[in-house]
């Protein structure tokens, strides 16, 4: 069994970052809610308690049952986690005396502590707590302090329990990665053998065992997740996997053909279904964004289902679900409201009566890309920007028509190709810690939007009255928040010129400089 570290989530906004940092150390970890502790098998090498928006002194403060953990397994409490251990094991937490937010300088008091091995005596840490640990829990001693907070880190003697008031997982804690490595690889003794190659070997073996000789169907979208899932399954069960790639008539210029060719080159058993006409028919006169999404989503389900019915004896539906989609979140402020209906093919599994297999369920997005790279998938495919299921259908504001699709496709093609051809010296958006190949690679998502307004211009000696194209380029980590990219002026000048000169029907180009929130990435 893969060795792992269990992260118990008390609802902090940065809990996922703890997971990310451990995975970067090639240590497998899982995030579970504080009140749903899974069975602790021998493969669990240690436990981390996350931060929380609560104070331990709140009436409704989350309480975890650590009876099978504390003193039995290495344990690291972070922020709320540190206060929780203190509060429940003989210490005392109180408010307001030494609130600390933001950067602070940590001084290591116990230089022999394995938690600080290889770390500087003083280094910057990130604090975010209103409460402070006034009295340490039983048998505990201070191992690091800041100017304002004496008990910034402690260790309980006689057991491998450590606690830190600061957040080692956030970027601003300069030596946080070293401290987390000390905990996971040193104190917990993890081997750090969770690599893309080991993931591939283990996953292929378990898929073989799970699926045997069964037939599996998978919907390919051209996106990273479904592509990597397909290649993994293909490695495990070969021709028993049938992939279905639907041309909804709303894809980017030449996208369907190019991506289909790549899939075939990779040896995937893939059926390409041309059904653009059907989608366009269903979109006729539909102008409301949500109605468009629903029309596209339900047509997709019908097309996919009809195609899947032709595959005799299929028992499984494979999906490219990834870890952020399955982490059960600790609800702190009640369920979040739905802003757009993103899960447009949500009804598919129920309708098809197939069992679900999700080979990427345990991976973060950048890990999916690394696995894709280890599987030998072309960089153009695994470095692709996210693209919404309803495709260009939600980038043409208002009714979708053939003519508008032609305009948007041509403009989009110019923008995307120009991004790919523009050199830059920025970090890659797809692989943290690596440099981007070009401007495209440094951006999380980019595209063009066709606005439903015409405006006046001049072309030669004539007055024109044509459409406006908006360019959108954002950086983000998960699409939940996003910032607009500061594209170079020379780049924007060139793209604007190219679009206006080459795309018939456009006489104006704008750049969207809104962040999310309050704007969204897509305009519909
Ligand atoms: P928004 O517009 O909500 O988009 O800021 C966040 C991310 O989600 C993508 N998106 C969708 N993906 N179906 C999808 O599969 C949808 O209906 C949909 N709407 C938005 C969007 O491209 C961005 O990456």
520 CB near ligand 1 (under 6 Å): yes
What's the pLDDT at 450? 98
Query: Per residue in 190-201, pLDDT tens?
Result: 999 999 999 999
Angle, CA 297 vertex, CA 293 and CA 299 arms, to 5°: 120
Which of 55, 54, 49, 53 lies closest to 77, judged by CA?
Answer: 49
Positive or negative CA dihedral for 104, 58, 32, 329?
negative
Structure confidence at residue 344 (pLDDT): 45
Nearest CA to ligand 1 atom 17: 342
pTM of the full structure:
0.88
Distance (angstroms) between ligand 1 centre and the Cα of 290 equals: 12
The residue annotated as part of the active site, out of 29, 79, 188, 243, is 79
Q: Indicate whether residue 294 lines ligand 1 (CB < 6 A).
A: no
Residue 338 has pLDDT above 50, yes or no: no
340 CB near ligand 1 (under 6 Å): yes
Q: What pLDDT band is residue 353 in, cutting at 50, 70 and 90? A: confident
> Across the chain, what does the average pLDDT equal?
93
Q: Express as a percent the part of the chain with pLDDT over 90.
A: 86
Instruction: Write down the pLDDT at residue 348.
Output: 67
- Give me the catalytic one of 169, 255, 522, 524: 169
244 neighbors 308 (Cβ within 8 angstroms): yes
| Residue whose CA is at the smallest distance from ligand 1 atom 12 | 388
Annotated catalytic, 167? yes
Weakest mean pLDDT among 141-145, 255-259, 458-462, 466-470: 458-462
Of the candidates 185, 163, 142, the residue with the CA atom closest to the CA atom of residue 5: 185
pLDDT value for 432: 74
| Residue 169 annotated among the catalytic residues of the structure | yes
Strands 462-475 and 270-274: unpaired
**Cα–Cα distance between 423 and 439 in angstroms, integer?**
6
Percent of the chain at pLDDT > 70 equals 95
Place 336 in a pLDDT band, splitting at 50, 70 and 90.
very low
Q: pLDDT digits over 217-264, tens only?
A: 999 999 999 999 999 999 999 999 999 999 999 999 999 999 999 999
Q: Out of 3, 29, 100, 167, which one is annotated catalytic?
A: 167
pLDDT band at residue 430 under the 50/70/90 scheme: confident
Is 29 in the active site? no
């Amino acid at each position: 069994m893969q060795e792992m570290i269990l992260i118990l989530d008390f609802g902090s906004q940065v809990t996922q970052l703890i997971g990310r940092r451990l995975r970067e150390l090639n240590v497998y970890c899982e995030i579970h809610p504080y009140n749903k502790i899974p069975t602790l098998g021998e493969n669990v090498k240690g436990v981390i308690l996350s931060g929380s928006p609560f104070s331990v002194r709140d009436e409704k403060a989350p309480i975890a049952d650590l009876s099978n953990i504390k003193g039995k397994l290495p344990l690291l409490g972070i922020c709320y986690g540190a206060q929780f251990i203190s509060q429940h094991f003989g210490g005392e937490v109180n408010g307001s005396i030494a609130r600390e937010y933001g950067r602070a300088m940590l001084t290591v008091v116990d230089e022999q502590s394995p938690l600080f091995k290889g770390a500087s005596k003083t280094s910057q840490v990130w604090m975010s707590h209103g409460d402070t640990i006034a009295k340490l829990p039983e048998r505990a001693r201070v191992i690091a302090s800041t100017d304002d907070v004496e008990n910034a880190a402690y260790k309980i003697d006689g057991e491998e329990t450590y606690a830190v008031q600061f957040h080692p997982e956030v970027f601003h804690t300069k030596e946080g990665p070293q401290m987390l490595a000390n905990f996971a690889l040193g104190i917990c003794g993890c081997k750090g053998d969770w690599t893309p190659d080991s993931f591939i070997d283990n996953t292929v073996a378990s898929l073989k065992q799970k699926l045997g000789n069964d037939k599996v169907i998978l919907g390919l979208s051209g996106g990273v997740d479904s592509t990597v899932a397909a290649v993994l399954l293909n490695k495990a069960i070969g021709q028993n996997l049938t992939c279905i790639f639907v041309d909804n008539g709303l894809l980017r210029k030449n996208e369907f053909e190019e991506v289909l060719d790549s899939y075939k080159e990779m040896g995937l058993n893939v059926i390409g279904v041309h059904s653009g006409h059907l989608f366009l028919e269903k979109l006729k006169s539909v102008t409301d964004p949500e109605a468009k999404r629903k029309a596209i989503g339900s047509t997709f389900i019908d097309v996919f289902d009809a195609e899947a019915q032709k595959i005799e004896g299929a028992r499984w539906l494979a999906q490219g679900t990834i870890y952020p989609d399955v982490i059960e979140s600790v609800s702190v402020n009640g369920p979040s409201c739905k802003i757009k209906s993103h899960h447009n093919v949500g009804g598919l599994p129920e309708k098809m009566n197939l069992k679900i297999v999700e080979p990427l369920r345990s991976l973060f997005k950048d890990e999916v890309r690394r696995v894709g790279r280890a599987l030998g998938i072309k960089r153009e495919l695994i470095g692709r920007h996210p693209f919404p299921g309803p495709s260009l259908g939600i980038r043409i504001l208002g009714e979708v028509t053939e003519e508008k699709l032609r305009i948007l496709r041509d403009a989009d093609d110019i923008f995307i190709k120009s991004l790919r051809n523009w050199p830059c010296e920025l970090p890659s958006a797809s692989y943290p810690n690596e440099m981007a190949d070009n401007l495209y690679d440094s951006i999380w998502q980019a595209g063009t939007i066709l606005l439903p307004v015409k405006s006046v211009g001049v072309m030669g000696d004539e007055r024109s009255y044509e459409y406006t194209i908006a360019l959108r380029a954002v950086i983000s980590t998960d699409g939940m928040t996003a910032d607009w990219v500061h594209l170079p002026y020379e780049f924007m000048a060139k793209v604007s010129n190219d679009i206006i000169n080459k795309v018939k029907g456009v006489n104006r180009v704008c750049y969207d400089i809104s962040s999310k929130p309050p704007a969204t990435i897509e305009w519909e």
